[in-house]
Amino acid sequence: MAELSDDDLLAALDAVTEARPARAHTPREERIIAGFEDILAFHARHGRPPMHGDDRDIFERLYAVRLDRLRGLPDACALLAPLDTPGLLTAGADTGPVDTAVDDDALLAALGGDTPADDDITVLKHVATREDRRAADDIANRTPCPDFDRFKPLFDLADRELTAGIRQTRPFGRDARIDTGDMFILGGQMVYVAETGAELRQPAGKTDARLRVIYGNGTESNLLRRSLQRALYKDETGRRLTGTAAGPLFGGTWQEDDIESGTIYVLRSLSDHPFIAENRALIHKIGVTGGRVEDRIADAARDATYLLAAVEIVATYRLGRVDRRRLENLLHRIFAPAQLDLTIADRFGNPVRPREWFLVPLPVIDDAVGRIRDGSITDVVYDPDMARLVATAS
């Protein structure tokens, strides 16, 4: 029997040979479609096209600029016609004064997309493909922060500390951990991790957690820790803000023959007490010691002073030629309006009310130490409602 060819076998099986379909869209078309889908999503949420104007949300302004550009491209209009069920590309409605001061470069941080390599993609040059956008959804999905007044002082203080050299920035890749209270620079914008949710079990045994992330422009997002890590890795300018530099108090330069009097330490409790867990980022123990901080907290889990739980050191400041006890009393007096009012039972069942714990953001403690350095601490008091140091009444 003669050997059958492939075509003969297919014919015998009554099979139909189908050509493999070519890619549906070019990279340029993918970006145009992805950019227009953002605009459609905005229309679906708000029932209107995006508009220009300084009073508009940063994303709305970006989408308005993008829509204007799409309307001026006949090939883009033809490509998007099957998707344009609301008629956005043909609508003649006034969308407000054209935002001539805004372009994609100015709003790139808000978009979260990459710059395409193709030189011919000149219109939506910062629109990621649909696949890229899915990876950046959590980053881009920001909403106005309703209590931004609580966080604005933290951003202002961090900015001043960067200018003064008290804080520094480091490439994110050198330290990829992300914890509550950390600050970063992402897309040229300062980022603060305000809250961390419960650990989530991921495939392959990995863990993740939802974060409440506050941005310096007054927006926030609820995203996974790994999403923020990926965004910081992808951003070549992504940076971590270091803690405040631990310099000597009451002096500009630490000399080798100076007498070291001790260390101001700031601790955060790892207790699972419901109130402490809910407010972990704000509850800090402030103290002064003449020895090693690590030695002082070694038995924290058995000491009611430390809330019968392990603690972590979040900041330390070296002291030079000062009275430790008077300095500790000064710090406690400043933050007395925010002293933690919590009673716990010690190991023997006796009620204990720890005195050195305060509901104060870490950047405000940094501010207080800075004011102790320059002598201006006597001119301020702590306002718990505003969560910052304010000038004393004259």
Question: With b meaning 16 or more CB within 10 Å and e meaning fewer, what string describes 130-144?
Answer: eebbeebebbbebee
Q: How many CB atoms lie within 10 A of CB 123?
A: 17
Please tell me whether residue 69 adopts helix, strand or coil conformation.
Answer: helix
Which residue's entry shows tokens 């080798």? 256
Element holding 95 (H helix, E strand) = none
What would the pLDDT profile of 10-19 be if each residue is shown by its tens digit?
Answer: 455 444 444 4
Phi, psi of 55, deg, nearest 5: -85, 0
- Orientation angle between helical segments 27-46 and 58-71, nearest 10 degrees: 130
What would the pLDDT profile of 117-176 be if each residue is shown by its tens digit?
Answer: 444 434 454 454 444 454 444 455 788 999 898 888 888 888 877 776 667 788 887 667
Residue 296 above 70 pLDDT?
A: yes
User: Could you give the CA distance from residue 33 to residue 79 in angstroms, rounded to a whole number?
Assistant: 8
Residue 334 vs residues 269, 357, 371: alpha-carbon distances, Å:
21, 13, 12
337 exposure class (CB count in 10 Å sphere: 0-12, 13-18, 19+): middle
Tokens of 219: 């927006």
Tokens of 361: 């953001």
Return the pLDDT at 257.
Answer: 44
Q: How many CB atoms lie within 10 A of CB 236?
A: 6
> Which residues are bridge partners to 339 per DSSP?
358
Element holding 348 (H helix, E strand) = none
Return the pLDDT at 119.
Answer: 42
Q: How many CB atoms lie within 10 A of CB 10?
A: 13
Return the pLDDT at 8.
Answer: 56
360 confidence band (pLDDT: 50, 70, 90): very high
What would the pLDDT profile of 66-92 be if each residue is shown by its tens digit?
Answer: 888 888 888 888 888 888 888 888 876
Closest residue by Cα to residue 383 from 356, 364, 363, 370: 364
3-state secondary structure 3-66: CCCHHHHHHHCCCCCCCCCCCCCCHHHHHHHHHHHHHHHHHHHHCCCCCCCCCCCHHHHHHHHH
Residue 313 above 70 pLDDT?
A: yes
7 confidence band (pLDDT: 50, 70, 90): low
Q: Mean pLDDT across the stretch 24-37?
A: 81
102 confidence band (pLDDT: 50, 70, 90): very low
What would the pLDDT profile of 317-348 be if each residue is shown by its tens digit?
Answer: 887 666 777 788 888 888 989 999 888 877 77
Q: Mean pLDDT across the stretch 297-304?
A: 86
Tokens of 183: 């600050």
Asked if residue 127 lies in contact with residue 35, where contact means CB atoms within 8 angstroms, the answer is: yes
Instruction: Tell me the average pLDDT of the chain.
Output: 76
Return the pLDDT at 25.
Answer: 75
Query: What is the pTM assigned to this prediction?
Result: 0.39
- Name which residue leads in pLDDT, 310 or 133: 310
Residue 105 above 60 pLDDT?
A: no
Tokens of 86: 């609301």
> Which residues are bridge partners to 315 per DSSP?
266
Residues 6 or more apart from 130 whose CB is under 8 A from it? 30, 33, 34, 37
User: Could you give the CA distance from residue 369 to residue 389 in angstroms, rounded to a whole number?
Assistant: 11
Tokens of 394: 């004259």
> Which residues are bridge partners to 219 per DSSP?
144
Specify the length of the chain in residues.
394
